[in-house]
Amino acid sequence: MTQYTNQYGQPVGAPLPEWQSRSWPAYETFTGHYCRLEPLSAERHGRELYAAYAQASDGRDWTYMFAEPFTDEDAYLAYASKIEQGRDPMHFAVIDLQTQRAVGTLALMRIDTTHGSIEIGHVAFSPLLKQTRMATEAHYLLMRYALEQLGYRRYEWKCDSCNQPSRQAALRLGFQFEGTFRQAIVYKGRSRDTCWFSIIDGEWPQLKQAFERWLAADNFNEDGTQRAKLQAQR
């Protein structure tokens, strides 16, 4: 690793003489092989999303979310109306290209254009979306947008330290674990230690190739079983 020093002989970070602030993300539509991301709309997506979430047998998918399980469709529609078209977070609906129905949401958030940092969060995937090619592709589409198209330097993932599935998902997707912020948040009447993960711009080209190899149709058997895991593609 190259060591940089200033005029006093002190170690400093790598110079970025051409760095400029990045653009704020836009509410665009992103289309992949298996899913499409659209700006969340309570009117267009709300009823489909509530129906998708209602397929879960209980409310455990909301344990580590800031929202609570929704008691009825009207409650979810009110929630979706509140968060749609927000500036930060910016929520997107995940559309299954086979059924053309919304099956989950995720959001870009904690957007810092000055330093080129952005977080993926509010990941609410229904049983129709979890552990599918669509789920991986949805993350890939937003990573590509932030790191490649917009030129952000840092793409973050944060979760409750107790949320083991989220921690495993971050590692599978190529995020690097950075540490735990103790007693970082109080939510739902309890304390939260927050685990931090990130992908930086220099890691993106290799990760992009791995995603594209994994998402390729020939990586799956006729029954949809993957031939090679995403981690193996890296």
- The span from the CA of 71 to the CA of 62, in Å, is 12
pLDDT of residue 145: 98
Indicate the number of domains in the chain: 1
Instruction: Evaluate whether residue 223 is within a structural domain.
Output: yes
Indicate if the pLDDT at residue 1 is higher than 80: no
Residue at 4 is within a domain: no
Of the pLDDT bands very low, low, confident and very high (cuts 50, 70, 90), residue 212 is: very high
User: Stretch 37-59: mean pLDDT, rounded?
Assistant: 98
Average pLDDT rounded to a whole number, residues 24-52: 98
Q: Is residue 5 part of a domain?
A: no
Check if the beta carbon of residue 159 is closer than 8 Å to that of residue 166.
yes
Domain of 53: which CATH number? 3.40.630.30
159 domain-assigned? yes
Burial, 220: exposed, middle or buried (Cβ in 10 Å; 0-12, 13-18, 19+)?
middle
Mean pLDDT in residue range 26-49: 98
Mean pLDDT score of the chain: 97
Task: Decide if 13 is inside a domain.
Answer: no
**25 has pLDDT over 90:** yes
Q: Which residues contact 172 (CB under 8 A, 6 or more apart)?
A: 230, 231
**Both tokens of residue 148?**
């490649």
pLDDT of 5 over the 90 cut: yes
- Say if 14 falls within a structural domain: no
* Strands (DSSP E) found in the chain: 4-5, 11-12, 30-31, 35-39, 90-96, 101-112, 117-125, 154-160, 176-187, 190-200
Nearest residue to 143 (alpha-carbon basis) of 203, 83, 75? 203
Q: For 194-206, what is the mean pLDDT?
A: 98
Mean pLDDT calculated for residue range 124-146: 98
Return the SS3 of 41. coil
Gap between the Cα atoms of 172 and 199, Å rounded: 12
pLDDT in the model for residue 85: 87
Show Cβ contacts of residue 176 under 8 Å, excluding neighbours closer than 6 positions. Answer: 197, 198, 199, 203
Whether 112 maps to a domain, the answer reads yes
Quote the tokens at residue 205.
């080209």
Question: What's the domain range around 164?
Answer: 24-233
Confidence of residue 208 (pLDDT cuts 50, 70, 90): very high
In this structure, is residue 46 part of a structural domain?
Answer: yes
